[in-house]
């Protein structure tokens, strides 16, 4: 399929000009005025294309292009239009626009399809305004209750539900997408792999599970001058050694394992006092449940052993756990075949980031398509993807939708 490049470009530029920061970043926080303006445009384009538009109780917008078979389950493609503060031009937004453009292309080509083809714009994927992320898709998947989500507040104490009503996008619960033949999410990779390898398409086979740990190491606060090295129980020395060792262990564990220590601080935080306690966070990701559990165990063991060697102790608490997602095999195969037929360079890849697709995967057969992120930059104004990769991503989306329409998923 060949999409209408001009139309896609013009529409993306139109919405990406709504709320631009001084650094040329995007500022479409969920349920803000900018989000409403983008939603209104999206709805107008859906209606202009002859789609029926529905909005659910979380504010998610669906545009439905009628298929031939009343009884067939719909096929949905989508992502999100909200952005991080000072975020990128394509994160999420590309998936919504590629989905819309793909369905329009199919319709205009005269190709026949049985299932309804839908495009979805999930509310508050970023979690930048209302924490946590993926509130709407998570509610669809039964992870959150509507009331709990309604009561989420932004940093100014404004409630999700109040903003949803204010911008006029509080719809009906019965409009939620809970059953479909397939859900497909085109997205930028947000990582450096495809770009570094010069590959245009990522066939996403799943998403890494996440284990979040809070580590507190206790030693003994002491005077920096009067305490000889041999008398110290330095909590930061133990933390530094542990961070170094658990990283090496993670590398040895093998890809796609990743470990990140994003936050660290030492107490009492005085330049001339040996730290008596240190806190640091661990974000550990892997693609299988068993591997995740094993990596978590090894990581904890190393920390405890390191602390014991250095006269300190560690308390480790899990603050977050997200299961790895394994996407639907048929959808993965359809993406692979369509990319090959189109002559695109492609590779299988596991998503390191969370996406609406990860929650929707719990209730609907799901897959994703990645387009490259230049230098892996994301959540910043420098986030970018070559136009040709966006175009082939949108065209591939159309090809996959047609394939899925013919497949038994």
Q: Which residues bind a second copy (CB under 8 A)?
A: 189-193, 196, 208, 210, 212, 222-229, 231, 234, 236-237, 239-241, 243-244, 247, 250-251, 255-266, 269-275, 278, 281, 283, 285, 351-354, 376, 378-379
Pick between residue 108 and residue 255 the one whose CB is nearest to a second copy.
Answer: 255
CB of 243 to a second copy, least distance (A): 4
Strands (E), 232-276: 258-260, 264-267, 273-274
Pick between residue 212 and residue 381 the one whose CB is nearest to a second copy.
Answer: 212
What does the H/E/C string look like for 1-52? CCCCHHHHHHHHHHHCCCCECCCCCECCCCCCHHHHHHHHHHHHHHHHCCCE
Cβ-contact 208, 350 below 8 angstroms: yes
- Backbone phi, then psi, for 137, in 5-degree steps? -65, -35
CB of 124 to a second copy, least distance (A): 17
Pick between residue 155 and residue 226 the one whose CB is nearest to a second copy.
Answer: 226
Pick between residue 121 and residue 241 the one whose CB is nearest to a second copy.
Answer: 241
CB of 327 to a second copy, least distance (A): 16
Neighbouring-strand partners of residue 322: 210
Pick between residue 128 and residue 391 the one whose CB is nearest to a second copy.
Answer: 128
Q: What angle do CA 56, 59, 61 make, to 5 degrees?
A: 70
The first and second tokens of residue 351, run together, are 């998503």
Q: DSSP class of residue 130?
A: S
- Backbone phi, then psi, for 146, in 5-degree steps? -60, -40
Pick between residue 103 and residue 310 the one whose CB is nearest to a second copy.
Answer: 310
Pick between residue 39 and residue 379 the one whose CB is nearest to a second copy.
Answer: 379
CB of 46 to a second copy, least distance (A): 30
- Backbone phi, then psi, for 408, in 5-degree steps? -100, 115
Pick between residue 29 and residue 75 the one whose CB is nearest to a second copy.
Answer: 29
CB of 147 to a second copy, least distance (A): 27
Neighbouring-strand partners of residue 79: 121
Other CB atoms within a 10 A radius of the CB of residue 239 amount to: 29
CB of 134 to a second copy, least distance (A): 13
The Cα 203–Cα 346 span in angstroms is 7
User: Pairing between strand 313-322 and 61-65?
Assistant: unpaired
CB of 273 to a second copy, least distance (A): 5
Other CB atoms within a 10 A radius of the CB of residue 341 amount to: 11
CB of 244 to a second copy, least distance (A): 5
The Cα 130–Cα 149 span in angstroms is 9
């Amino acid at each position: 399929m060949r999409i209408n490049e001009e139309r896609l470009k013009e529409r993306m530029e139109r919405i990406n000009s709504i709320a631009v920061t001084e650094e040329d970043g995007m500022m479409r926080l969920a349920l803000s005025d900018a989000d409403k303006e983008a939603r209104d445009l999206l709805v107008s384009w859906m209606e202009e294309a002859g789609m029926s538009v529905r909005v659910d109780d979380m504010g998610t917008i669906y545009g439905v292009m009628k298929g031939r078979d009343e009884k067939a389950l719909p096929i949905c493609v989508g992502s999100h239009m909200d952005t991080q503060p000072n975020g990128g031009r394509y994160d999420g937004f590309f998936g919504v626009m590629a989905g819309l453009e793909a369905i329009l292309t199919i319709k205009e080509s005269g190709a026949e399809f049985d299932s309804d083809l839908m495009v979805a714009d999930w509310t508050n994927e970023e979690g930048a305004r209302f924490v946590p992320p993926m509130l709407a898709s998570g509610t669809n998947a039964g992870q959150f209750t509507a009331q709990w989500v309604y009561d989420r507040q932004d940093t100014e104490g404004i409630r999700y539900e109040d903003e949803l009503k204010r911008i006029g996008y509080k719809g009906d619960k019965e409009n939620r997408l809970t059953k479909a033949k397939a859900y497909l999410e085109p997205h930028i990779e947000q990582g450096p792999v495809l770009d570094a390898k010069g590959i245009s398409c990522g066939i996403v086979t799943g998403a890494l599970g996440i284990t979040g740990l809070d580590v507190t190491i206790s030693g003994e606060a002491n005077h920096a001058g009067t305490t000889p090295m041999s008398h110290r129980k330095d909590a930061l020395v133990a933390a530094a050694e542990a961070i170094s060792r658990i990283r090496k262990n993670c590398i040895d564990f093998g890809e796609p394992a990743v470990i990140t220590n994003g936050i660290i601080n030492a107490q009492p935080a005085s330049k001339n006092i040996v730290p008596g306690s240190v806190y640091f966070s661990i974000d550990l990701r892997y693609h299988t449940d068993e591997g995740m559990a094993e990596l978590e165990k090894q990581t904890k063991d190393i920390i405890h052993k390191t602390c014991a060697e250095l006269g300190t102790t560690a308390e480790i608490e899990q603050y977050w756990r997200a299961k790895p997602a394994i996407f639907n095999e048929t959808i993965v195969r359809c993406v692979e075949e369509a990319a090959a037929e189109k002559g695109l360079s492609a590779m299988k890849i596991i998503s390191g980031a969370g996406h609406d697709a990860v929650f929707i995967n719990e209730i609907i057969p799901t897959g994703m398509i990645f387009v490259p992120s230049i230098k892996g930059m994301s959540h910043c104004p420098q986030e970018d993807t070559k136009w040709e990769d966006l175009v082939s991503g949108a065209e591939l989306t159309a090809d996959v939708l047609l394939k899925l329409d013919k497949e038994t998923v």
